[in-house]
Structure formats: structure tokens, C-alpha cells
């Protein structure tokens, strides 16, 4: 009984200490992922029903969206870089994949920068290395450089006759020639944050950007067999530079 009382007293003392103004508290951060089309939220409930118009004027629907995020790293004002383990294969049909981390505890400090990799970098993009991704049929063909997809965006668009046609906008390693491959991942780096208290960081993907800037994507020309199309893969990488943004909510 005495032991319990003592423990309780110690716990209270410890908590009390943490609440002191001169003792900086840990920073608890959650990181979520969400998707939009030029600001309008996109969820699986839009699949096959909601129509979007891309930059080139094609009317399209989405039936599938999966993408991979890895190497999420937070940086604080002391110069520490804290990398979060693992990766998320975001699948719009699975709500569980929208949370990269929930209530991760970071040492006290001001977190002013976040970076992450869209897809896998060269070091992590190892052929067949991740059983869960293999099970999700996320592999990228060996003859195209191997490793894994970065994104699968699929649906239908209306062709010039107004008839629905299928598109499959798949992104991964770019095959420049026989046995010649170019890493095609994107490092997103945002350094205008000021997080010194518990917060949720939302990583937002604007799907419309994949069709927009700098390459106006023509779905009539580029709708399928894109995985082995070097130029298409590079255009995706260029357009992908602006698809991600960050929004911070304080908890
Ligand atoms: Cu594919």
C-alpha cells in the first residue's frame, strides 16, 4: 500500500514538473494524408460517379487511387532531423491508410520543416522487399527497373466523341533504354512550418495537378501503357512537383 502511495506521489511530482513553465514539453504530432481536386475533397465515394475536368478539358472519373509515401522526416530548430519509420500505401478505399502516424512524441522544440518521399528513393525501392506491398500487387516490373509503383490512378475519361474510355496513370521508375533506368521519385520538402505545440499535419494531394503543370496532360494521347513510356514517366515526375501541400492544425 505504501509503495503504491509513493509511486502515486512520484507520478504526480513528475507530471507537475512537466507542467512547469520552464520545462519544455514534448511535441505530439499526428500526420494524415488526404486528397482533393483543386481544393474539393476526393474520397472513394466519388469513385465512378463524380466528374472532374482536367486542365486539357477532358471530363474524367476516378475509379482507383493508390500512392506511396515514405521517409517522412521532421526537422526542428535545434537542427535535429527525426525520420519516422515505415511507409504508407495510401488506398482511398481503405480509411486506415490515411494515417501515417498518430500522436507521435517528439522532443521539445520548434518543428519548422517536413520532408517526405513520394514513392521510394533509390535506397528503399528494392525489388520485392516488402511483403505487404507484394501482397497488394504494388510491384513495378523488373524490366522497367523493378521496385514498386509510386502511384496508380485509374478511371475513365470522355474521348473526343464523348465516349468513355479507360485510363491508367501509373507512375514509377522510368526506363530510359534497355537496362537503363532513372529514379523517378519526388522529395517533397516544406520549410515554412512553426510547430511548437501538439498538432496534426495534413499532407494533401491535389490530383488535378497531375494533369496540369508544367505539362498539360492529354488523356486522348496518354491513357494507357504508360509504365514503359519514358517520356510519360518523366512528365509525371515534373507534374508531381506541385501536387503536395501541407496544412497544420493545432490540437
Ligand atoms: Cu502499373
- Tell me the per-residue pLDDT of 65-101, one tens digit each, with 9 for 90 and over: 999 999 999 999 999 999 999 999 999 999 999 999 9
Which pLDDT value is given to residue 23? 78
Which residue(s) pair with 139 in the sheet? 148
Is 65:153 a contact under the CB 8 Å cutoff? yes
Q: What is the pLDDT confidence band of residue 1, given thresholds at 50, 70 and 90?
A: very low
Distance from Cα 23 to the centre of ligand 1, integer Å:
51
For residue 218, how far is the Cα from the chain centroid? 24
Tell me the CA–centroid distance for residue 55 and ligand 1, in Å: 23
pTM for the whole thing? Answer: 0.90
Q: pLDDT tens digits, residue range 98-155?
A: 999 999 999 999 999 999 999 999 999 999 999 999 999 999 999 999 999 999 999 9
pLDDT tens digit sequence for 235-250? 999 999 999 999 999 9
pLDDT digits (tens, 9 = 90+) for 177-232: 999 999 999 999 999 999 999 999 999 999 999 999 999 999 999 999 999 999 99
Phi, psi of 145 (to 5 degrees): 115, -10
Q: Which three cell numbers stand for residue 56?
A: 486539357
Q: Residue 116: name the closest of 90, 93, 134 by CA.
A: 90
User: Counting Cβ atoms within 10 Å, is residue 120 exposed (0-12), middle (13-18) or buried (19+)?
Assistant: buried
User: With 60 as the cut, is the pLDDT of residue 5 above it?
Assistant: no
Distance 170 CA to ligand 1 centre (A): 5
> Ligand 1 centroid vs 150 CA: distance in angstroms?
9
Distance 152 CA to ligand 1 centre (A): 6
What's the CA-to-centroid distance between 224 and ligand 1, angstroms?
9
Cα 167 to averaged position of ligand 1 atoms, centre (Å): 11
Q: What is the Å distance from ligand 1's center to 149 Cα?
A: 6
pLDDT at residue 35 is higher than 60: yes
Q: For residues 6 and 26, give the distance between their C-alpha atoms in angstroms, rounded to a whole number.
A: 25
Q: 188 phi and psi, to 5 degrees?
A: -100, 130
Amino acid at each position: 500500500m505504501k509503495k503504491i502511495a509513493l509511486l502515486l506521489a512520484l507520478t504526480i511530482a513528475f507530471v507537475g514538473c512537466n507542467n512547469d513553465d520552464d520545462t519544455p514539453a514534448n511535441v505530439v504530432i499526428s500526420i494524415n494524408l488526404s486528397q482533393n481536386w483543386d481544393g474539393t475533397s476526393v474520397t472513394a465515394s466519388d469513385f465512378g460517379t463524380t466528374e472532374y475536368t482536367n486542365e486539357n478539358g477532358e471530363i474524367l472519373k476516378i475509379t482507383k487511387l493508390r500512392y506511396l509515401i515514405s521517409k517522412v522526416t521532421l526537422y526542428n530548430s535545434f537542427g535535429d532531423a527525426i525520420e519516422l519509420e515505415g511507409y504508407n500505401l495510401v488506398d482511398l478505399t481503405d480509411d486506415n491508410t490515411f494515417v501515417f502516424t498518430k500522436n507521435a512524441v517528439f522532443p521539445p522544440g520548434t518543428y519548422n520543416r517536413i520532408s517526405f518521399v513520394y514513392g521510394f528513393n533509390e535506397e528503399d525501392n528494392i525489388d520485392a522487399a516488402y511483403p505487404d506491398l507484394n501482397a497488394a500487387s504494388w510491384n513495378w516490373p523488373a524490366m522497367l527497373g523493378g521496385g514498386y509503383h509510386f502511384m496508380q490512378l485509374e478511371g475513365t475519361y470522355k474521348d473526343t466523341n464523348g465516349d468513355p474510355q479507360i485510363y491508367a496513370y501509373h507512375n514509377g521508375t522510368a526506363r530510359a533504354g534497355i537496362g537503363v533506368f532513372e529514379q523517378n521519385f519526388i522529395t517533397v520538402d516544406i520549410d515554412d512550418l512553426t510547430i511548437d505545440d501538439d498538432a496534426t499535419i495534413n499532407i494533401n494531394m491535389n490530383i488535378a495537378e497531375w494533369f496540369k503543370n508544367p505539362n498539360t496532360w492529354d488523356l486522348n494521347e496518354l491513357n494507357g501503357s504508360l509504365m514503359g513510356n519514358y517520356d510519360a514517366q518523366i512528365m509525371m515526375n515534373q507534374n508531381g512537383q506541385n501536387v503536395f501541400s501541407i496544412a497544420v492544425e493545432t490540437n
